[in-house]
Amino acid sequence: MQVIMDNCQKIPVHVAIIMDGNGRWAKLRGKERFEGHIAGVDSIRECLKAANRNGVKYLTLYAFSTENWGRPAEEVDALMELFCRSVIAETPDLVKEGIRVRLIGRRDRFSEKVRQHLTTIEESTTAGDKLTMVLAFDYSSRDEITMATRTLAQKAAAGEIDVRDINEEMISRSLYTAEIPDPDFIIRTSGECRLSNFLLWQASYAEMYFPEVMWPDFKQNEFDEAIKVYQQRDRRYGKL
Ligand code: IPE
Ligand code: IPE
Ligand code: MG
């Protein structure tokens, strides 16, 4: 009984995933990179189910980094198109499952069509209260911190805040993730062990896990396995 109680207490409130390895997954199967991205959408569905079932409250997914604009136009266009198609196909289920979608990242570089889909998915899921899916789309953590710095500097220059009052909480509240708790657990698939400009401020005390499996093969079982890994961790926060 004691073990079960302990495990219940160790469900991460916020899991963030760097969904990596779509291209390699496709290449290993003699397919085009883009087919890996399509296959990856199913893993998103699976992880939403597993997150909901485990009682996770926030699931952040790194879907497109600012640096990903540097990929060939063909791949970028295909990713944008896949995003739009997925919004149309998945929104009814997201609403039914009580999933709220929030976007973090820049909005100004997308086409009008993509921007409309971003608004649609956020507005149609506002009532979702079981799980919040945070999509990092045109997201760069350094860019986010730079923007926050600029905002606070402008407020100080305008006399709205005193420079001496700037503290960690104020900085956190100036980020895209303002009302979202810091991630407890960051998973990156495909065996790469780096953050690639993802949640650098928010990750200060996150536990990290780098399974070898490529993103299209990361399903409910793999998510449950990851939760077990998290439950073995001892989070000390610098204390004893
Ligand atoms: C992650 O898979 C998806 C995005 C970055 C959009 P990759 O496309 O990076 O796949 P690999 O790392 O090349 O295998
Ligand atoms: C990170 O993956 C971005 C996303 C998963 C969206 P990348 O594949 O773009 O990162 P690097 O280039 O290997 O660091
Ligand atoms: Mg990659």
**Ligand 2 and 197: CB distance under 6 A:** no
Q: How far apart are CA 119 and CA 82, in angstroms?
A: 16
Mean pLDDT, rounded, for 108-124: 97
User: pLDDT digits over 73-101, tens only?
Assistant: 999 999 999 999 999 999 999 999 999 99
Q: Among 3.10.180.10, 1.10.150.110, 3.40.1180.10, 3.30.360.10, what is the CATH number of 10-140+182-231?
A: 3.40.1180.10
pLDDT score, position 5: 45
pLDDT score, position 4: 46
Among 9-13, 104-108, 218-222, the least confident range: 9-13
Confidence at 1, pLDDT banded by 50, 70, 90: very low
> Probe ligand 2: pick from 33, 68, 215, max atoms within 8 Å of CB?
68
Q: For residue 42, is it left (φ>0), alpha (ψ between -120 and 50) or beta?
A: alpha
User: pLDDT digits over 150-189, tens only?
Assistant: 999 999 999 999 999 999 999 999 999 999 999 999 999 9
pLDDT score, position 8: 52
pLDDT score, position 2: 42
> Probe ligand 1: pick from 86, 190, 193, 195, max atoms within 8 Å of CB?
190
**Two structure tokens written together for 62:** 């790194």
Per-residue CA distances from 237 to 184, 214, 240 (Å): 12, 30, 8
pLDDT score, position 9: 66
- pTM assigned to the model: 0.96
CB count within 10 Å of CB 189 equals 26
Is 7 catalytic? The answer is no
Q: How far apart are CA 193 and CA 211, in angstroms?
A: 9
Atom of ligand 1 nearest to the CA of 24: 14
User: pLDDT digits over 32-75, tens only?
Assistant: 999 999 999 999 999 999 999 999 999 999 999 999 999 999 99
Residue percentage of the chain with pLDDT more than 70: 96
CA angle 7, 221, 127 (to 5 degrees): 75
Q: What are phi and psi of 153, to 5 degrees?
A: -65, -40
Is 68 catalytic? The answer is yes
**Mean pLDDT of all residues in the chain?**
96
User: pLDDT digits over 122-145, tens only?
Assistant: 999 999 999 999 999 999 999 999
CB count within 10 Å of CB 82 equals 16
Q: Domain-by-domain residue ranges, the chain?
A: 10-140+182-231
Dihedral sign from CA coordinates of 22, 24, 28, 30? positive
